[in-house]
Structure 1
Amino acid sequence: MAEDQHAALIRAYIDEVFNGHRLDGVGQYWDDALTSHWLGMETIHGLPAWRAAMEAFFAAFPNAAYTLDDMFFAGGQGVWRGHWQATQQGEWQGIAASGRNVTWTVIIIGRFAGGKLIEDWVELDRLGLFQQLGCIPTGSSVG
């Protein structure tokens, strides 16, 4: 698969899944035996587990919208950088619904094979997100 095809796949994936919250056709983007590393804390194996994690994310952030800021591809890998904007309306990762509007950055490194994503590494500004959600205090000036 050529780099321009990878770019087209990711743009369609972001449009349908990230911004459309449509998970029924996710198999056209992801291999069934995918591996997805989230935040260096959790590794998700297989399309059903990945889908369940995204369903939980969208349930907590029903208006989540992703803006793509940059992407590039080399061979069978790619990197895309963007940011999410959402309002937390439900529990997520042990954090009760806060009703807060939040924005956080994300960098995803993906590996492709057979015309689909087979593995990714998701790094996000978890500290900034959790501070905005009110579960981690922000620093104060020492005076």
Structure 2
Amino acid sequence: MATATNLATLAQRIDEVINAHDVGDPLTELVVEDFVEQNPPGQGPGRAGRADVLTGMFTAFPDLHWTMRDTVVQDDRVMTLSTWSGTHEGAFMGIPATGRRVEVEAWTLDRYRDGRLVESRIIMDVAGMLVQLGIIPPPSAG
């Protein structure tokens, strides 16, 4: 079994690949071909589905940057609190470009086997992102 330090390093490496906007060889090295994304719905299967989602995010937010805030490792799983930010310059989730900058919290629970990502679940603050994009109004002070 991998050590907690090794798994945290793998999680950091995944973030580096995202920040480099590289869905080629580094993603192939770090993610198994039959990778399973538990959430979001609509993502295609396997590593190719993950690459497609990331490519769509890079197109919608060309300056996308992912920052890990906190990491907890247990057994073969890594839980991370992260923030991603970027400027909305292309369609995303059916929303045409707004030109607005967003900063979105995301929580991920990833499972690794033999040094590679095999499964992930991500929960993002989609409501907060929609407010920042001007799609829904901010909550009123009540």
TM-score computed with the length of structure 2 as normaliser: 0.92
The answer on 1:137 being equivalent to 2:137 is yes
The answer on 1:92 being equivalent to 2:92 is yes
- Aligned residues, how many? 140
Residue 4 of structure 2 contacts residue 75 of structure 2 at CA under 8 Å; is this kept in 1? yes
Residue 63 of structure 2 contacts residue 86 of structure 2 at CA under 8 Å; is this kept in 1? yes
SS of alignment partner, residue 54 of structure 1 = helix
The runs of 5 or more residues in structure 1 that have no matched partner are none
Query: In the TM superposition, what is the alpha-carbon distance from 1:12 to its structure 2 partner?
Result: 1.4
Matches within 5 A, 1:2-13: 2-13=3-14
| 1:44–1:122 Cα change, 3 Å | farther
Cα distance in structure 2, aligned partners of 1:5 and 1:119: 17
Matches within 5 A, 1:96-115: 96-115=96-115
Residue 110 of structure 1 contacts residue 117 of structure 1 at CA under 8 Å; is this kept in 2? yes
Question: Identity over the aligned pairs, expressed in percent?
Answer: 24
> Residue 60 of structure 1 aligns with which residue?
60
Cα distance in structure 1, aligned partners of 2:75 and 2:141: 47
Residue 37 of structure 1 contacts residue 44 of structure 1 at CA under 8 Å; is this kept in 2? no
The runs of 5 or more residues in structure 2 that have no matched partner are none
Deviation sequence 1:15-45 (CA, Å, 0-9, x none): 1x22111111201111100011224x44542
Which amino acid counterpart does residue 126 of structure 1 have in structure 2? V
Residue 37 of structure 1 contacts residue 43 of structure 1 at CA under 8 Å; is this kept in 2? no
